[in-house]
Amino acid sequence: MAVALNTFVVSNVYYFLVLLLLLQLVVAKTNNGFTLKLIHMDSIELPLYPGNLTLEERAARLHYQIDARVKISS
């Protein structure tokens, strides 16, 4: 009798843990949080990106961005 009861308890615990794992996987797949896609200033995915910049104009924009970062950090 005690062996049968012990087997019953172990199997119920096993099924409970498997069910808990499956529920955790389902909950982890849902995306209920706030997401934000970060886009670099010179990315072509930027809506206001001027796509017809020359290499010199891109270098000037990069230089301006670096100067702005240096001024902020100093």
Which pLDDT belongs to residue 60? 92
Task: Tell me which of 6 and 72 has the higher pLDDT.
Answer: 72
Which pLDDT belongs to residue 3? 58
Q: d(Cα 52, Cα 11) in Å, to the nearest integer?
A: 67
Residue 2 confidence (pLDDT) above 60: no
Ranges of each domain in the chain: 2-73
Which pLDDT belongs to residue 43? 78
Q: How far lies 65's CA from each of 17, 29, 51, 60, in Å?
A: 53, 38, 18, 9
Q: Over the stretch 32-70, which tens digit does the pLDDT of each residue have?
A: 677 788 887 777 788 788 878 888 998 998 899 899 989
Q: How far lies 22's CA from each of 14, 15, 16, 17, 31, in Å?
A: 12, 11, 10, 9, 17
Task: Provide mean pLDDT across the span 2-17.
Answer: 72
